[in-house]
Structures are given as structure tokens and as C-alpha cells.
Amino acid sequence: MEKVTYQYLGLMDYQQAWDYQKELMQAVIQRKLKNRHLSPDHPEFQQQQHYLLFCHHPPVYTLGKSGSSDNLLLNQNQLKQAGVSFYKINRGGDITYHGPGQVVGYPIFDLDLFFTDIHRYVRSLEEVIIRTLADYGIQGGRIKGFTGVWLEGTGGSDPNRKICAIGVHLSRWVTMHGFALNVNTNLKYFNNIIPCGIQDQDKTVTSMQQELGKKIDTEEVMAKLKYHFAQIFGFEFKNSTPTHPTASELGDPNKA
């Protein structure tokens, strides 16, 4: 069974988190390449490392490599006035928002040691979120043709609601980027973008707080996410850093 190192990074600037992901990804790739021609009992063989990072970001919009800048509805001056950063990044998908009240997860996994199927990987990430939502009585699911986790509406004034965005990048079957689950997120920030480039009138965004009508314990959500990750991917946690977010780390999601 594979071992995964869990790290809680707290409230971290997006660029800093992106750089850290790239650093870990390159280390995993280099270890993979070094091990390629070695047997497991060779003295230079090193057990592969996998990481699961959880964090929160100050307000930021990120645009995936297949996205359109037209889906950002603010110019540079407006972004500055709103106190929001903007990055074009190398994950799949279009534009989304990260900010306080969200749990952002970045798995750095060597899929050669799990399964080499990108569609299965994305579906597995969705399943982690679906099972976590189910622990709170929220019925999450999938909509054909749209990545992420959704709550199905009945139509009209009850639209389909996206509660978790997913975008990934792989190199040599090593993953980076991941998911953003809206827990206590200030949804007003989504008004400044066309989320994921989706303009359908029957689709919008939501959060766990919005659906349940109360603030959710983010630390508890992270613990449940960790459990379902281990169950679905079939690994054990090698070690963990404490998951005790402070109020300053979580930020104030309602501060626009």
C-alpha cells in the first residue's frame, strides 16, 4: 500500500503554493526516473513519495490553459481595487476563484503507483468530494460534460449548482493542482467571472454554508476529505502535520 505525506499549509499566497507544488512534483519525477532501472532491493532505490496538500488562498482568480481571458470581467485596475490577484496557470479548465472559506487540495501523486488513467483520476477526485458532502447530508453528483461536483437543481429558480471546481496537470503521470471545495466561501467573488466559462442559465455556484444555512467547521471538513482520499485511492498517510487552522489562516470569507 502506498504512503502519502499530508501537509496543511494554512493561508498561503497562490504563487507560493504553486511554486511549492512544482518543487514537490519535480522531486517526485526525479525519484521516479532514478528508480526506473533499479530493482526495489537495490541500495540506491528510494521509495516513491506522494503528497496531499490542503490550504486556503487570499482572493485570487486563476485561468487554466484552455480558458479564455474574456471570462474575467474585471480589468487590472478593478482587480487591484477589489484586492484580488490573477494568474494564468498550467492546469486544465477555465477560470475559477479561490479565497477564504474554501478548502483547496493539491495531490502530488505518482499515478504509476495507483493507476494511469487521467479520467479515472478526475472521477476519483470528484468521488472524494461527493462522499465528503454526503457526510453532511448534501447530495453531490456529476453533470455529463462538466468537470467538478454539482448539486442537481429542479430547473427554473432551482438551478444546477457547482460546489467544487477541479483542474489538474500531469507530467510523467505525476499530478499537481487539484480541487477547490466551497465550504464557507463568499460567493460574491464569482460575480466577477464567468465561472469555468459556463454561461448556461441553469448553472450557478454554491457552498456548503449556502446549502445548509450555517457556517461549517472547516477543520472537520478537511479531516473527512483526508479519510475519503485514503479510502478511494487506497493509501495510508505516512505522517501528518497538525490540522489546526487559526482564525487568521482561514480568513474572513465575507470580507469583500
Catalytic residues: 196
Question: 103 - beta bridge partners?
Answer: 181
Radius of gyration of the chain (CA): 18
Cell numbers for 149, please give them: 461536483
**Cβ–Cβ contacts within 10 Å for residue 95, how many?**
25
At 224, the amino acid letter reads K
Which backbone phi and psi does 173 adopt, to 5 degrees? Answer: 65, 20
3-state DSSP assignment of residue 185 = coil
**Closest CA relative to residue 47, chosen from 113, 108, 116:** 113
Cell numbers for 230, please give them: 485514503
CA distance between the termini of the chain: 44
3-state DSSP assignment of residue 70 = helix
What DSSP string runs through 123-184? HHHHHHHHHHHHTTT---EEETTEEEEEE---BTTB-EEEEEEEEEEEETTEEEEEEEEESS
DSSP state of 238: E
For CA atoms 133, 208, 165, 87, give the dihedral sign. negative
Distance CA 207, CA 185 (A): 6
